[in-house]
Structure 1
Amino acid sequence: MFRTVLSRAYRVHAVAAAPRTALNSSNTPAFARRLYSDQPKAEGESKSEAQDAPKKDDTAKSAGADELEKAKKVIAEKDAKIKEIKDAYLRALADAENIRTRSKSEVESTKAFAIQNFAKDLLDTVDILELAVKHVPKEHLADKVANKSLVDLYEGVSMTKSNLLRTLERHGVDSFDPLDKPYDPNTTHALYQAPMPGKTPGHVFAVEKRGYTIKGRVLRPAQVGVVLDPNGN
């Protein structure tokens, strides 16, 4: 029994004196490994671990900084893509609004000028009626008893002309008379020029055919005679 106790004491002493790397071997008894783990670490090992700790912290910080930079880059790319999509969306909205406005304007213009050709054809009829009324001698209209038929015809033609003009006005067709006004080549067509004493040169002194507009646009220019400047200007 004494030998057994002595043998165990020797082995404990041997374990305590053995290098740490040897004690980590799989051949080392379990109680020896437990004894090793309970012992304080050597001063060299403590210093080594203390020196390695800041390095691990620096590595972790560096890795974290890299991840942060990657995240910032991804966010910046996403923001740029969102801005690009938003700009494209706003441009599409503006284009759609322009198309809608232009289409509405074209529809309104088409409706406004749909009767342009038809109204222009009717102006010949108005001209004929005006000529008929214009060439009836005024003295014949004075005696309504003797010239009853002529007076009735005159009044009938005048009423027809007036009613036709009112119909055209309801559809946006208006007449204009440039008599005694400055000659405007945009709205009038000069058929002839003549010197007229007492008249301002460049002004209209005779209107052969009245002018007409539709919705503010010239449908037919007036046909006029213009006062000639005696100096030839």
Structure 2
Amino acid sequence: MEENQATQNPGVTPETAAAAEAASQAAAGVETPAADAAPVNAQALADVQAKLAEMQENFLRAKAETENVRRRAQEDVEKAHKFAIERFAEHLLPVVDSLEAAAGDTTGDLAKIREGVELTLRQLSSALEKGRVAVINPVGEKFDPHRHQAISMVPAEQEPNTVVAVLQKGFLIADRVLRPALVTVAAAK
């Protein structure tokens, strides 16, 4: 058929005839051989490479942001540890002021000194309470080895293993024993 076209149209070469036939097949919806596929594959490859570069950039940005968040959180924890006692110390400053005033008193009036010491003790108790430090004073309670330290057992009218006397108060800080109470416990009869 190509020879017929070449003889009928003397200016048509076999290459131009093949190109014309491919164009007519494409217009008719017939798939062309892989000669056209090379530019399409190159374009698809370029698109995929661009998408890959974009995803790599997004990954690096997300990784950097995660590292920044981790670093900021670590700094916040370090600051919290470093300055955790700051609020508690602020509550203790009035107690220090009261003690300094008492130490500087030269009047020698024992009634005033006693009144000042009682006031200072109330300030100290308030500061401890604000710092979530609670007193353990377990008179009449059952002995708890996690909160109490028994010094002795004495015969008593109370039920066995009941705290009879507190020799030294204990302290809790946020439900954790800071110092156990030193107690005397009722012995079994």
Identify whether the pair has TM-score above 0.5, normalized to the shorter chain: yes
Q: State whether structure 2 residue 18 is matched by structure 1 residue 51.
A: yes
Q: Report the 3-state secondary structure (helix = DSSP H, G, I; strand = E; otherwise coil) of the residue aligned with 1:225.
A: strand
Residue aligning to 1:137? none
| Structure 1, gaps ≥5 residues long | 1-40, 119-151
Secondary structure of 2:123's match? helix
Distance 1:202 1:109 in 2: 38
Q: Distance in 2 between matches of 1:112 and 1:214?
A: 14
Code of the aligned partner of 1:80: M
1:163 is matched with: 119
Q: How far apart are 1:228 and its partner, in Å?
A: 3.0
Q: 1:222 to 1:156 in 2, by over 3 A?
A: farther
Q: CA deviation at 1:217?
A: 5.5
Distance, in Å, in 2 between the alignment partners of 1:54 and 1:205 is 113
Per-residue displacement from partner, 1:84-134 (whole Å, max 9, x unpaired)? 21331232133134224313421342325669xx9xxxxxxxxxxxxxxxx
CA contact (8 A) 1:112 1:215 kept: no
Deviations 1:1-38 (A, max 9, x none): xxxxxxxxxxxxxxxxxxxxxxxxxxxxxxxxxxxxxx
Contact map agreement 1:211 1:222 (CA 8 A) in 2: yes
Letter in 2 for 1:90: E
How big is the shift at 1:226? 1.6
Work out whether 1:95 is the aligned partner of 2:70: yes
Aligned length: 155
C-alpha distance in 2 between matches for 1:213 and 1:160: 26
Q: Which range is displaced more, 48-57 or 68-77?
A: 48-57
Does the CA contact (< 8 Å) of 1:168 and 1:174 recur in 2?
Answer: no
In the other structure, the counterpart of 1:190 is 150
- Could you tell me whether the CA contact under 8 Å between 1:182 and 1:202 is conserved in 2? yes
Deviation, structure 1 residue 60: 6.3
Which residue identity does 2:160 align to in structure 1?
Answer: P
Who is 2:185 aligned against? 226
Aligned residue type for 2:150: A
Instruction: Answer with 1 or 2: which has the greater Rg.
Output: 1
Note if contact 1:113-1:214 (Cα within 8 Å) is conserved in structure 2. Answer: no
Q: Is this contact kept in 2: 1:189–1:222, CA < 8 A?
A: yes
SS of the residue aligned with 2:143?
A: coil
* 1:178 counterpart = 2:138: yes
Deviations along 1:167-204, one digit per CA (max 9) or x if unpaired, are 3224326544111122233332211123423x233221
Q: Cα gap change, 1:183/1:86 in structure 2, threshold over 3 Å: closer, same or farther? A: farther
Choose from 206, 211, 217 the match for 2:165. 206
Structure 2 spans left out of the alignment, 5+ residues: 1-5, 24-31, 93-108
Q: Hey, what does 2:38 align to over in structure 1?
A: 63
Task: Check the 8 A contact 2:162/2:185 in 1, yes or no.
Answer: yes
Matching residue's letter, 1:159: E
Q: Could you tell me which amino acid in structure 2 is paired with residue 50 of structure 1?
A: A
Amino acid at match of 2:70: D
RMSD of aligned alpha carbons: 3.8
Native 8 Å contact 2:136 2:180 kept in 1? no
